[in-house]
Amino acid sequence: MLGVHRAGLGYSNIGSIAPVLRSIGEVVASSEEAESVNKALDNLTAARRLSQYLGDGVIRTLSNLCAVYEEASEDNWDGQGARPADQSAYFFTRRFIASLRNSDLPTDITVDPDGEFSINWDYAADRVFSVSVGANGRLAYAGRFGPNRVRGVEYFTHDVPEQILRSIRRVQPEPQVS
């Protein structure tokens, strides 16, 4: 049995009181296993707070981004000579996604052969929008909204540039009223 000790509480089965321990205060580990559980509890608490702050959709999208980054992290990841995913572009892409509302999340994220990230909103052949995120925060974007098109370059600082947000919202399908 894995045990923990908290001043005044004695030893107890960690599995049954873990949620209570986090709500009461700091847990003092009495073994390596308890210390490991204590760290895991800290990670779960942080993940829960992050999920509450960002939203589940953003968390899923960031998880997908991480998987894409890992898959494209080596030279020639596509078998056609692609450069590895650029770490700085990855960090800018994470910040970009974390700045979006759940209703503005992309339909797809990919890595381009040059190592930059493409964030895509693809709803139909004539309703697409894409942002390519570079290592220096450069956001090259292009979109098609029926017969209309848009393209340009912005730089990511703290927030998603307004022109890009307008395009994301413009490309999305109209909500269905039931």
Asked if 1 contacts 34 with a C-beta cutoff of 8 angstroms, the reply is: no
Whether 174 shows a pLDDT value over 90: the answer reads: no
Q: How does residue 6 score in pLDDT terms, banded at 50, 70 and 90?
A: very low
74 vs 10, higher pLDDT: 74
Identify the pLDDT of residue 54.
56
Identify the pLDDT of residue 129.
97
- When pLDDT is averaged across residues 78-99 and rounded to a whole number, the result is 94
Identify the pLDDT of residue 38.
66
Overall pTM surpassing 0.85 (yes/no): no
Please write the tens of the pLDDT for every residue from 41-88: 665 555 555 555 556 788 889 999 999 999 999 999 999 999 999 999
DSSP codes, the chain: --EEEETTTEEEEHHHHHHHHHHH---B-SSHHHHHHHHHHHHHHHHHHHHHHH-HHHHHHHHHHHHHHHHT-STTTTSS-PPPPPHHHHHHHHHHHHTS-GGG--SEEEE-TTS-EEEEEEEETTEEEEEEEPTTSEEEEEEEETTEEEEEEEE-SSS--HHHHHHHHHHSPPPPP-
Whether 21 shows a pLDDT value over 50: the answer reads: no
Identify the pLDDT of residue 76.
93
Greatest distance between any 2 Cα atoms in the chain: 71
